Amino acid sequence: MVNWCHLKLLHVSCSEGDWWSFKNDLVFDSEPSFKLSTWNLSMDCCEWLGVTCEEAGHLTFPESLLTLSSLEALYLFRNKLSGPIRKDIRIASHNLSALDLSNNRLQGPLPEFIFKLPSISTLKLPGNNFTGKSSSFSSLAKLDTLRLASCKMQKIPNLKNQASLRTLDLSDNRFKGEIPNWIWNVGNGSLGSLYLSKNKFSSLEKPYTFPYSFRVLDLSSNKLKGDIPVPPSEVFNVDFSNNKFGSSIPTDFGNALSFVVSFSISNSKVTGVIPGLINNARFLRFLDLSSNSLAGPIPLDGNTFFVLLFGLKEKLPFLSLLFFPSTNFC
């Protein structure tokens, strides 16, 4: 049984039966919590007191949960929650550090109540129908993980003062133009993972310097043109695929892949030759250079790669090379 007054973590899944089980797991006083006392399976859950559904019968955001002063984590992902979230929600969950509303059907601006949660460190909102308009994130000083993928945002939120941010996912939105150079300094140079894929960025604002803290850099599926950016030397995973660079891989690119495990720049209008220094990538296990216009010899060190995918249109049309040297498969 769960003591409602001291509840710290709440994970609610999506069916009416799950909400009923949730109610049965609570320890509550029926007098002040009379709404819960009225819940029963002989009624449609949309008729339960304290539960609000939109016209189509889908559940809306259960804002009453935010009155729990001891709540520290709230996970409501994949619950088919829909509709906009009211601005004037009463907040008592000031210790809430993790909130996951991903993959629902929520609409409207990013919820205003989020910016009243001073302890929030993990915020996940991807896979909703938000319009993207939001308040400043400056009030969320402890933010460590921010996932805003697929939120239909048209303008990158101002995150310049997010000194604690380590993971930022802004993929699959409606951003276009230049990637602002201030974004590389988010987290005071300690940003570890950045996902900007599936937008319409055309270039990187100059001057720019990637932080050495990067472990994951995903710029795939944009419209980037011009010089191919050289990633920081300690990055693990780099994805530049599905762009329109129209240029060659820099000759010193291999030196920047010292710790890279996975690198893809497929289908990105890359020309020229494959730099020999790519063999310096001693940890590389997946390399995808397919669907480009590369030519010349393949600089292949048999001790380096587990998987190589090359598409050399000019000399070897449609070639995909799978290479497994000295590898034992179970």
- DSSP-assigned letters across all residues of 45-65: GGGSTT--B-TTSPBPP-GGG
Q: In this structure, are residues 13 and 79 in contact, taking their beta carbons and an 8 Å threshold?
A: yes
Q: State the pLDDT at residue 123.
A: 96
The per-residue pLDDT for range 267-285, each reduced to its tens digit, is 999 999 888 767 777 788 8
Name the band, by pLDDT with cuts 50, 70 and 90, for residue 4: very low
Distance CA 258, CA 277 (A): 10
Instruction: Answer positive or negative: Cα dihedral of 37, 40, 43, 46.
Output: positive
Of the candidate CATH numbers 3.40.50.300, 3.40.50.2020, 1.10.340.30, 3.80.10.10, the domain formed by 175-330 belongs to 3.80.10.10
Distance CA 261, CA 252 (A): 18
Instruction: List C-alpha distances in Å: 148 to 72, 131, 160.
Output: 21, 12, 16
State in words which class domain 1-147 has. alpha beta
Q: What are phi and psi of 322, to 5 degrees?
A: -105, 125
Q: What are phi and psi of 255, to 5 degrees?
A: -65, -25
Kindly tell me if the per-residue pLDDT of 10 is higher than 90: no
Q: State the pLDDT at residue 146.
A: 96
Residue 149 corresponds to which amino acid?
A
Same fold, 1-147 and 175-330: yes
Kindly tell me if the per-residue pLDDT of 8 is higher than 50: no
Please report which helix (H) or strand (E) contains residue 216, including its range: strand 216-218
Distance CA 313, CA 294 (A): 7
Kindly tell me if the per-residue pLDDT of 161 is higher than 70: yes
Number of H helices, E strands in the chain: 2, 20
The domain locations on the chain are: 1-147, 175-330
Cis geometry, peptide bond prior to residue 207 (ω within 30 degrees of 0): yes
Distance CA 297, CA 39 (A): 71
Q: In this structure, are residues 178 and 205 in contact, taking their beta carbons and an 8 Å threshold?
A: yes
Report which of residues 13 and 45 the model is more confident about.
45
Supply the DSSP symbol for 316: B
Kindly tell me if the per-residue pLDDT of 46 is higher than 60: yes
The per-residue pLDDT for range 92-133, each reduced to its tens digit, is 888 899 999 999 988 888 888 898 899 999 999 999 888 766
Kindly tell me if the per-residue pLDDT of 36 is higher than 80: no
